[in-house]
Every structure is written in C-alpha cells, then in structure tokens.
Amino acid sequence: MLFCGLYDTRTVGSTGFPALRTYLWAYTGVRDWTSYPAIDQLSTVLHVTPDYPATFLSVGDADPFAAQAAELARALKQRGVPLTTLFWTGTGDHLNHEYQFNFDLPQARTAFARTLAFLAATTKS
C-alpha cells in the first residue's frame, strides 16, 4: 500500500514539493541529494519487476506527488503487477499530500475502506 509518495528521484525535482531538498538531504545524508551515489535506490520505478507484490496506490488531486504516483502506476502496469489505484485526479477536491489521514474527509474514509478491501483480497487469513 503506497500513499502520496516519491517514486522516481529522476523526476521528483519537478514536482514542486515543499522542502523536498531538506527531506532528501535527511534521507541521503548529502546536502545535494542528486550527487548521492546510491540515489537510484530511492527510485521505486527503477526496481519494479514482474515479481513486485500486488499494489494499492493512492494520491490526492492537489498532492505535488500526483505525477510520481502516475509514473509508478505506469511502471507497475508495464510489468504486469496487479495494481489497484485510487487517484483523485480531475475531481477538484483539492486533496493535499497525505489526505488519507484526515478522517473528516469522505475521501479519506473511502481510501481507508478501499485499503481494507485490498488487504482482504490480497492477503491470506
């Protein structure tokens, strides 16, 4: 289950995500995160294989990482990975980063219900 994430370090700089440089500095320990020798290890899209597990992927329509989710969805589909998406694109709901934690929003409750349904369908009891 992946919510509102960074999935491709090659393109994340164009997202306009606030304080991205600071976050990636914290993750990599390198002020100029683009020079981190193992930066590609943070790019999920580069590591998807047909053996990648079934994935639930969601993002809000106002999340700067919406394009990142779309990139990952394409990579998963290209490799035949079972994929369930909940993209709030084109809805005009203005769902920001990590919208799914605000249970005052009906969309967050929908995301929770669909997450539970995904888990029920893809895990063994």
pLDDT tens for the chain, residues 1 to 125: 999 999 999 999 999 999 999 999 999 999 999 999 999 999 999 999 999 999 999 999 999 999 999 999 999 999 999 999 999 988 788 999 999 999 999 999 999 999 999 999 999 86
Give the pLDDT score at 125: 65
Residue 75, CA atoms < 13 Å, CB-side half-sphere: 20
Give the pLDDT score at 49: 98
Distances (CA, A) of 10 to 28, 44, 116: 15, 11, 32
Give the pLDDT score at 83: 98
